[in-house]
Amino acid sequence: MSDLLKIENVSYQYDGKYRALNNVSVSFAEGELVAVLGSNGAGKSTFFLCCNGVLKLQSGKIVYNGVELKGNKKDTFTLRQAVGLVFQDPDSQIIAGTVESEVSFGPLNLELSKEEVEKRVEESLVQMDILRYRDYAPHYLSGGEKKRVSIADILAMQPSIILLDEPTASLDPQNTDALEHILLALNESGITIILSTHDVNFAYRIANRAIVFADGEIIADANVDEVFSQEDTLKKAGLKKPLLYEAFEHIQKAGLCKRSEKKPRTIEEFAWLMGDADALA
Amino acid sequence: MVTGILSMAFVWFLFAGKAPNTILAAACIALGAFFWHFSRHQHDHPLPIDIIAQSSKLNGVNASLKFWTVLASIAICISSKNCYTGIFLMAIAPVIAVYAGGMDFDHYLQILMLPLGFLLLSGLSLLFSVSMTQIEGVASFRALGIWFYATTSSQAMAALVVSRALGAVSCLCILSVTTRMPDIIAVLRRSHCPDAIIDLMYLVYRYIFILMSLHHEMHDAAKSRLGMKDYKTSLRSTGMVYANLLARSYHFAAKNFDAMESRCYDTGIRFLEHSTKITMTQGWVCAVLLAVGAALSLMPL
């Protein structure tokens, strides 16, 4: 797969003192689902703000679709259109008085025709299953519904890549499940999904690749199974192994597993590996 | 209850010397009973005004038509030289909001109660003049060594000012219970109101709810830690809550601006706007309303 977005040697300091990113290089291919892991203050949010062009790069470069984006107005516009960013707290993102107007904000900034904006808004609301709330004021929606609005905001801009900053923060298990399905469906439709999270269980279930940040640097970038097998990396990043991953390791060690093709990502896969033939049906 | 007492006092002194005392007393008691009855049935948690506007049957009516009709009605009302236009608008407002809009009469009164209280208080201050010596008027009384007296001219002045103000407030009330704030802001945008003001209106409207919810959470958190146990502590806690609210609002503003920029915000906030067609009936109703208001304003006193 060719690289869709390439970040090369990017560093960023707040107020010229606190180094949030230090010489970060990474690339993302089309259709990937990547989890960015790391403790608080590791640099994940700053990395996302740089990828979207909200923060101007102090050093390094961003290459999108093979073209280096220089940071001028035109290139920043291209980057923001192509790489959508869903903020952690929907209330920081939502500005309009109704759900429909909120979702129309991005497409209108892209100078699209009214008909095209209306079409995109409707499609995004349908995709997020919030069409019935189109005339509602966002402040009367629940946390999960607001999160859907904030994703619809970005979908309506039709980006190739969506960055989600702590998407499961403050969501209940039901809404987390719903979000997981939404993200998998978006990824299947060809959108590259990059999400930052502390929730290793969620990351392990959903992502194929994991990037680990610690002190503004990338300390691991590999397949999720491989990342969670690196004890030193997890310790340095202040992370724990996913519960299913760790439990399966113990079961394997005790020789209780009936099958051992691969480590289970979901509870259904776990049941299948333990011998329940119908679990994946 | 306070509004009830104020309305009884205002009506009594407004018509003192013009109507027999028994009829006046009966009218005041009826008015007091009405407000007392209303205060007993008042909702503990009033519905937010934008929820009422959202569910109003008139929400779908063209916002520009509503906005400009209301603005023209206010202009006619405040330029009127008599009380009739104000009284007419005051009477027609609940008919429009409750009968045509489908809202609860209790909710309508609840919204009107606060401005009504202030207007009646202002009306009473217009009715009375003060003097150190006794002056005969249509009504007078002495309190704290000072004579308060009302004259026929002050009665006329108070009636005119209060009726104008109540008429205008009723018009605004119709607009706010039938039209959502974003629709009103959209009308202002179409009327070429400066972008900076429109942007601020959108953000202020949104932030009222965010900061209110944040304030509520902080207040409850302070309360749960005995921060409101007595007057002195509650003053200190309230100060701290507001200071924190200010800091959080700066943080929110910065985050919000980042989020806007990330969605290609450059100059001016723009949202999708829909404009519903004005039907012949709606146009005629508004025209008749304005014509009646204008005709009444030209009537001699």
User: How do the pLDDT tens digits run along chain B, 301 residues long?
Assistant: 788 888 888 888 888 878 888 888 898 889 888 888 877 766 666 668 888 888 899 998 999 999 999 999 999 999 998 899 999 999 999 999 999 999 888 888 888 888 999 999 999 999 888 888 887 778 888 888 888 888 888 888 999 999 999 999 999 999 999 999 989 999 999 999 998 999 999 999 888 888 988 899 999 888 888 888 888 999 999 999 999 999 989 888 889 999 999 999 987 888 988 888 999 999 999 999 999 999 998 887 6
What residues 239-278 of chain B have any CB closer than 8 A to a CB of chain A?
A: 252, 255-256, 258-266, 269-273
Return the pLDDT at B42.
65
d(CA B25, CA B40): 22
Containing H/E element for B249? helix B231-262
**Identity at B176, one-letter amino acid code:** S
Query: Chain A contact for B218, CB < 8 A?
Result: no
Residue B34 lies in a domain: no
pTM of the model: 0.83
Question: Which domain, by its residues, includes B255?
Answer: 188-262
How far off is chain B from A235, nearest CA to CA, in Å? 31
d(CA B293, CA B119): 21
- Are B82 and B147 part of one and the same domain? yes
DSSP character at residue B16: B
Question: Which residue is associated with the tokens 């179409």?
Answer: B190
| Neighbour count for residue B136 (Cβ, 10 Å) | 7
Q: Do A109 and B54 touch (CB under 8 A)?
A: no
Q: Which residues contact A22 (CB under 8 A, 6 or more apart)?
A: A11, A43, A215, A216, A217
Residue B43 lies in a domain: no
CA geometry: angle at B186 spanning B180 and B192, to 5°? 145
d(CA B170, CA B143): 34
Positions of E strands within B86-242: 128-131, 139-143, 146-150
Residue B80 phi, psi dihedral angles, 5° rounding = -70, 145
Query: Chain A contact for B205, CB < 8 A?
Result: yes
Residue B28 lies in a domain: no
Q: Which of A24-33, A201-210, B3-12, B182-191 has the lowest mean pLDDT?
A: B3-12
Residue B121 lies in a domain: yes
Containing H/E element for A162? strand A161-165
CA Rg, chain A, in Å?
A: 20
Q: Do B54 and A52 touch (CB under 8 A)?
A: no
A-side interface with B, Cβ within 8 Å? 49, 52-54, 77, 80-81, 84-85, 87, 89, 91-98, 100-102, 104-106, 108-110, 114, 117-118, 121, 135-140, 153-154, 157
* Closest to A91 in 3D by CA, of B214, B26, B2, B266: B214
CA geometry: angle at A123 spanning A106 and A202, to 5°? 80
Query: Chain A contact for B32, CB < 8 A?
Result: no
CA Rg, chain B, in Å?
A: 24
- Are B61 and B170 part of one and the same domain? yes
How many contacts (CB atoms, under 8 Å) link A and B?
100
d(CA A29, CA A48): 16
Question: Distance from first CA to last CA of chain B, Å, rounded?
Answer: 33
Provide the number of structural domains found in chain B: 2
Residue B234 lies in a domain: yes
Give CA separation, B57 vs A203, B54, B179, in Å. 47, 9, 10
- Are B123 and B229 part of one and the same domain? no
Residue B212 lies in a domain: yes
Q: Which residues contact B72 (CB under 8 A, 6 or more apart)?
A: B290
Residue B285 lies in a domain: yes
